[in-house]
Amino acid sequence: MDTEFIESIVSPNKVNTVYIEHREATLGETNYFYTFFKKEGLFMKEIKGHENHLISQYRPSQSQFTAEEALGLQNVEWMTEETLTFHTINGDVSIKLK
């Protein structure tokens, strides 16, 4: 199964919007792939150097993570208007927008 979605998050002062393209592929284990974009005017610019790939070993006795849960999208921390941290299933990942 291979699905693709785009989520968006806005900085606390609404200065920046980050778009996250994500997809997952499952075959015995789930692979999550993320690409981050920043809105600049009318366009979106890919934030280079922050492509992310997370893997979750799926066991039938455990519930599988959604792509949003694996990235930690529910509890993103904006350190500044230009830096945010995701608490992923593999540890913290910081994204710098500049």
The structural domains of the chain, with segments of one domain joined by +, span 2-96
| Residue 75 near residue 89, CB atoms below 8 Å | no
| Residue 67 near residue 74, CB atoms below 8 Å | no
CA-CA-CA-CA torsion sign (58, 63, 64, 69): negative
CA 47 remoteness from chain centre: 12
What distance in Å separates the CA atoms of residue 70 and residue 26, rounded to the nearest whole number? 14
pLDDT band at 1 (very low <50, low <70, confident <90, very high): very low
Give the mean model confidence (pLDDT) for residues 10-37: 86
Give the mean model confidence (pLDDT) for residues 11-29: 85
Reported as a single tens digit per residue, the pLDDT across 53-86 is 766 655 444 557 788 888 889 989 999 999 999 9
Does the predicted model carry a pTM greater than 0.85? no
